[in-house]
């Protein structure tokens, strides 16, 4: 059976070198400043290998970081130590949060929400986040847009050869369920001239913004702002990344 984020965890950073995580962190700070709050405690869900967690910790935020993958967390912890970043990492399913602390900011970046493929579980996660925000806190998260998953990634195949790693990324989009199945195959050089094959299956759901807004309102969020593609502009039909900034106010 193919797994999620086991072997991939060890290739993830190598294959994501084109992602500007500093831009991501700066944009999150812009949304925080826009909300006119000065947070100290931050909860990050689906933190992955810490590419956003660590830069934010180095900026002075006190971060508790959660991820379901032990492999991802192992890499994140090692990177945090290398960068002298003080971060509490916890292995936990973000749809079943057991953390009792209250935070000024809860964030979930880089498609974390897309990986919650059941609406009831997404509502449960939103409700858990709502309970863990103080009265002036905000919930910031992003999704790959419906347009991106259904039209750009869906039913397309991607691949790359970096020399010691070869990967093939095959995507199958089901219009009836809005689910995107991503079959990842990796060949990494185990010995000189010999490659080891590993496979993983990832499934994401393409959510429309109206669906997300409905679930946020149902979970108690009263003020919801939506932006697209790292700008303070409303999404259009071809926007690829949608950001949500939500508060209880």
Q: Residue 186's beta-bridge partner residues?
A: 167, 198
The whole-number pLDDT of residue 248 equals 85
- d(CA 181, CA 102) in angstroms, rounded, equals 35
Half-sphere exposure of 114 (CA within 13 A, CB side): 27
pLDDT (tens, 9 = 90+) of the chain, 249 residues, equals: 344 445 566 667 666 777 899 999 999 999 999 999 988 899 999 999 999 999 999 999 999 999 999 989 999 999 999 999 999 999 999 999 999 899 999 999 999 999 999 999 999 999 999 999 999 999 999 999 999 999 999 999 988 887 777 888 899 999 999 999 999 888 877 666 677 788 889 999 999 999 999 999 999 999 999 999 999 999 999 999 999 999 987
Residue of 94, 90, 96 lying closest to 106 (CA atoms): 94
The whole-number pLDDT of residue 198 equals 81
Its pTM stands at: 0.91
The whole-number pLDDT of residue 10 equals 64
In contact, 178 and 207? CB cutoff 8 Å = yes
The whole-number pLDDT of residue 199 equals 85
Domains and CATH numbers, the chain: 8-144+207-247 (3.40.50.150), 148-204 (2.20.25.110)
- Across the chain, how many H-helices and E-strands are there? 7, 11
Burial of residue 191 (number of CB atoms within 10 Å: 0-12, 13-18, 19+)? exposed
In contact, 78 and 89? CB cutoff 8 Å = no
**In the block, residue with structure tokens 């990050």:** 44
Size of the chain, expressed as the number of residues it contains? 249
The whole-number pLDDT of residue 2 equals 40
φ, ψ of residue 46 to 5 degrees: the values are: 55, 55
The whole-number pLDDT of residue 8 equals 65
Residue of 148, 104, 114 lying closest to 46 (CA atoms): 114
């Amino acid at each position: 059976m193919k797994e999620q984020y086991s072997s991939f965890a060890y290739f993830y950073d190598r294959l994501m070198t084109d992602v500007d995580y500093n831009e991501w962190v700066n944009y999150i700070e812009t949304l925080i400043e826009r909300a006119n709050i000065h947070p100290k405690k931050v909860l990050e869900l689906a933190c992955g290998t810490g590419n956003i967690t660590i830069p934010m910790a180095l900026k002075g935020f006190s971060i508790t970081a959660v991820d379901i993958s032990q492999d991802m967390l192992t890499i994140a912890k090692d990177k945090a130590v290398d960068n002298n970043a003080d971060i509490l990492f916890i292995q936990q399913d973000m749809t079943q949060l057991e953390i009792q602390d209250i935070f000024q900011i809860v964030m979930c970046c880089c498609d974390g929400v897309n990986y919650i493929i059941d609406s009831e579980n997404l509502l449960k996660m939103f409700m858990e986040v709502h309970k863990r925000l103080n009265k002036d806190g905000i919930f910031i998260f992003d999704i790959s847009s419906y347009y991106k998953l259904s039209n750009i990634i869906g039913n397309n195949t991607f691949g790359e050869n970096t020399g010691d790693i070869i990967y093939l990324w095959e995507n199958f989009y089901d219009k009836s369920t809005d689910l995107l199945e991503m079959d990842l195959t990796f060949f990494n050089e185990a010995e000189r001239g010999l490659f080891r094959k590993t496979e993983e299956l990832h499934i994401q759901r393409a959510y429309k913004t109206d669906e997300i807004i409905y679930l946020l309102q149902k979970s108690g969020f009263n003020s919801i702002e939506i932006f697209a593609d790292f700008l303070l502009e409303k999404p259009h039909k071809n926007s690829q990344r949608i950001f949500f900034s939500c508060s209880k106010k």
